[in-house]
Amino acid sequence: MAPGKWVHEQVASFWSRYLYFVGIRQQNDQLRLELDSAKKELADLRENASEVERLRQILSLTPPIDWTRRAARIISHRLGPNAALETFLIDKGSAHGVSVNMPVVSPDGVVGRVLRLSPTAATILLITDPNSRIPVVSQKNRTQGIVKGEGPTKELTLQYVPQGAPIEEGEVLVTSGLEEIFPKGLPVAKVTSIGRSGSSLFQLIHAAPLFTPRQLEEVALLFKANAAAVPVAPAAAPVVAPPPQPTTAPVSPIITPPNAAPTGKPQKGLKTPAAIPPAPGQGAPPPAPAPAPTPAPVPAVVEPAKPAKPAKKADKPAESEKKRRKPARTEGQ
């Protein structure tokens, strides 16, 4: 082979390998980007599937009779001075109908109750907190007691169980409903150990909660529904008003006009109304106004006014009247 041809082939081979490796690198970079995107999408799908499974479990929780449920998301853990309280914060508050002492549960059992409220959030006190106490009853032997929290990472204590009361390890404790906060029959804890405490009258019993506080992400709030029908009071008989009593209409007095003739003999020296002439420009006085209209009024009887006769001497009406009535003397008298 000629030296020039060999050199040409070597250079062409080197260049083709270079271009091949450049293409391979670009392809690898593209595949890495696609792999990273696929991994991110797979992580999101797994997270969504896990959330769907948790929400499905919460929705599968059957609330007791006369109770309804509503899901809530946990947004914070351990609130309080120096994180002393076993609490967490949820994203539902008084604006969503949440109230203090409302039960909080998970698909595994009772979680706690609402401790404090704000319009958009609520603080939940866990059953593991030392301030928490729940009346319970054993599911199998029906032995009653009170479950008390002992703090984080510690088991619960079942108090006030008399010596000799039947109870077994592994028995589930459920709410008794005596405190009127939690509905009856919700699982709370499982008995882990039973013992004696010296000369105490009660057994020393420990129980483990049915949930892991640090693994909770969603919980369910139990709302008490007014399912019972409210009794309707019988309709009262209609009240019949008594018939109105007939009212007697006032009878208007008979008005005698001032220019009417006197009925009797007036006293001497007194002026009768007929003797007082009307003022200039005034005629007979108008009749008195009729009273206000009333049911079935009786019309007023008013005598017609007579024209007044002017008196010749208004100052001495009594003397002129005597002269007119004095009979004339006859000649034989």
Alpha helices by DSSP H, listed for 90-203, are: none
Quote the CA–CA distance of 269 and 267 in Å, as a whole number.
6
Residue 22 lies in a domain: yes
Instruction: Examine the domain organization and report whether 82 and 205 are in the same domain.
Output: yes
Instruction: Give the burial class of 92: count Cβ atoms within 10 A of its Cβ; 0-12 exposed, 13-18 middle, 19 or more buried.
Output: buried
Three-state SS for 15? helix
Question: Residue 121 belongs to a domain with what CATH number?
Answer: 2.40.10.340
Dihedral Cα 107, 111, 113, 119, nearest 10 deg:
-70
| Token pair belonging to 66 | 């006369």
CB proximity list for 217: less than 8 A, separation 6 or greater: 51, 54, 73, 74
Is 43 within a domain?
Answer: yes
At residue 258, φ and ψ (nearest 5 deg) are -65, -20
Q: Are residues 74 and 91 in the same domain?
A: yes
User: Within this chain, do residues 115 and 30 fall inside the same structural domain, yes or no?
Assistant: no
The reply to whether 169 falls in a domain is: yes
Q: Are 202 and 90 in a shared domain?
A: yes
Please give the pLDDT value at position 55: 84
Within 8 A by CB and 6+ apart from 117, the residues are 93, 94, 98, 99, 100, 123
User: Is 264 part of any domain?
Assistant: no
Q: Say yes or no: 20 and 114 in one domain.
A: no
- Sign of dihedral through CA atoms 173, 174, 177, 180? positive
Decide if 45 is inside a domain. Answer: yes
Both 42 and 118 in one domain: the answer is: no
User: Which of 224, 240, 262 is the C-terminal boundary of a domain?
Assistant: 224
The reply to whether 39 falls in a domain is yes
The number of folded domains in the chain is: 2
Assess if residue 205 is contained within a domain: yes
Domain range for residue 17? 12-60
**Domain check: are 145 and 214 in the same one?**
yes
How big is the CA angle at 125 (ends 124 and 127), to the nearest 5 degrees? 130
DSSP secondary structure letters along 110-127: EEEEEEEE-SS-EEEEET
> Residue 85: its pLDDT value, please?
81
Shared-domain flag, residues 76 and 190: yes
The verdict on 182 and 214 lying in the same domain is yes
35 within some domain: yes
27 and 173 part of one domain: no
Q: Tens digit of pLDDT per residue, the chain (333 long)?
A: 566 677 667 777 777 777 777 778 888 888 999 999 999 999 999 989 888 888 888 888 888 888 998 999 999 887 555 567 889 999 999 999 999 999 999 999 999 999 999 999 999 999 999 999 999 999 999 999 999 999 888 899 999 999 889 999 999 999 998 888 999 999 999 999 999 877 888 999 999 999 988 888 999 999 987 633 334 444 445 455 555 565 555 544 555 554 544 454 444 444 444 445 555 554 545 555 555 555 555 555 445 555 555 544 444 455 555 555 555 554 444
Question: Are 34 and 162 contained in the same domain?
Answer: no
If asked whether residues 76 and 213 sit together in one domain, one would say yes
Q: Which of 186, 207, 224 is the last residue before a domain boundary?
A: 224
